[in-house]
Amino acid sequence: MLTIGKVAARAQVSADSIRFYEREGLLSPAQKSESGYRLYTEEAVRRINFIKHAQQCGFSLSEIRELLELKGHDQSCCNDVYRVAVEKKLQLESKIKALKTMSQALNQLIEVCSHDAKPLDECPILAALESSIAGQNARSGAHQ
Amino acid sequence: MTIKIEAFSSPGCGKCAQAKEMLKAIVEELGRERISWRDVNILEEMDYAVELGILSAPAIAIDGELVFPALPSPNRLRAELIRRLGQAR
């Protein structure tokens, strides 16, 4: 059996992260020692690696919980995981589109700036943001 | 004027295929000459799906607008199509 410190070292996370995963229902110790210390098996290390990789792919903790439940459910099949992955990709692509729109709005603001060293109260970027031109540009950019 | 239905789903979704067949039957019932149906592989047309605001599959767009973010019951689709056909007259 492994203590929380050993699991943390093997999975390259902090002990606090492991306690956090436990609070979120993503991980639980295999047993507790007589003195009340958490004890884990190697499965915990694999599970933490799974959680880390899923987070890197943009999955939220609740989505990771769903994936872990699917993984541990005998009747689940690859299609169930595939569906979650397709939906996540749709959400990520949607976020990318929104970020591109925001980036374009910033381009317009940057173009407005004449590059002169002006006092801050004449800054065209701040002025545009204050007059909500940025918001209007972002909205019109979203419809283009 | 033809109403254009686009059914977005991912390949290999057995449940989607079954449900879509039931919905396609409504299109047949109301007339193929008035309603067109296109199956869209969401993985091949991801940009278009995102443009329409689709965040999960399966979903149905009608005339380029996301109308059903999840597959509707046959009755709901029938009601929506009849409403649109009425407007088109």
Q: At what angle do helices A42-56 and A61-72 cross, to 10 degrees?
A: 130
Question: So what's the pLDDT on residue A144?
Answer: 45
Is residue A135's pLDDT more than 60?
A: no
Poorest-confidence range of A51-60, A69-78, B55-64?
A69-78
The whole-angstrom separation of Cα A139 and Cα A132 is 11
Span A119-128, mean pLDDT?
A: 81
Question: So what's the pLDDT on residue A75?
Answer: 67
Question: So what's the pLDDT on residue A137?
Answer: 53
Return the number of other C-beta atoms located less than 10 Å from residue A141's C-beta: 16
Contacts of A94 in chain B (CB under 8 A): 50, 53, 55
Q: pLDDT tens digit string along B5-34?
A: 999 998 877 777 888 888 999 998 888 889
Question: So what's the pLDDT on residue B60?
Answer: 95
| Residue A91 touches chain B, beta carbons under 8 Å | yes
Q: Is the pTM of this model over 0.90?
A: no
Is residue A72's pLDDT more than 80?
A: no
Cα–Cα distances in angstroms (integers) from residue B56 to residues A76, B62, B66, in the given order: 19, 16, 11
| Residue A37 touches chain B, beta carbons under 8 Å | no
Span A113-141, mean pLDDT?
A: 70
- Which among A79, A82, A87 has CB closest to B56? A87
Nearest Cα neighbor of B3 from B40, B36, B38 is B36
The full set of domains in chain B, from first to last, is: 3-87 (3.40.30.10)
Chain A closest-CA separation from residue B30 CA (Å): 31
Q: At what angle do helices B74-88 and B14-30 cross, to 10 degrees?
A: 40
Tokens 């993985």, residue? B43
Chain B closest-CA separation from residue A42 CA (Å): 34
Cα–Cα distances in angstroms (integers) from residue B2 to residues B8, B40, B69, B82, in the given order: 19, 18, 22, 13
Look at strands B59-62 and B65-68 and give their pairing.
Answer: antiparallel
> Percentage of residues in chain A with pLDDT exceeding 90?
48
Is residue A138's pLDDT more than 90?
A: no
Q: pLDDT tens digit string along B42-88?
A: 999 999 999 999 998 889 999 999 999 988 999 999 999 999 988 76
- Give the helix ranges, DSSP H, for chain A: 4-11, 15-23, 42-56, 61-72, 78-112, 124-130, 133-143
- Which among A79, A90, A93 has CB closest to B56? A90
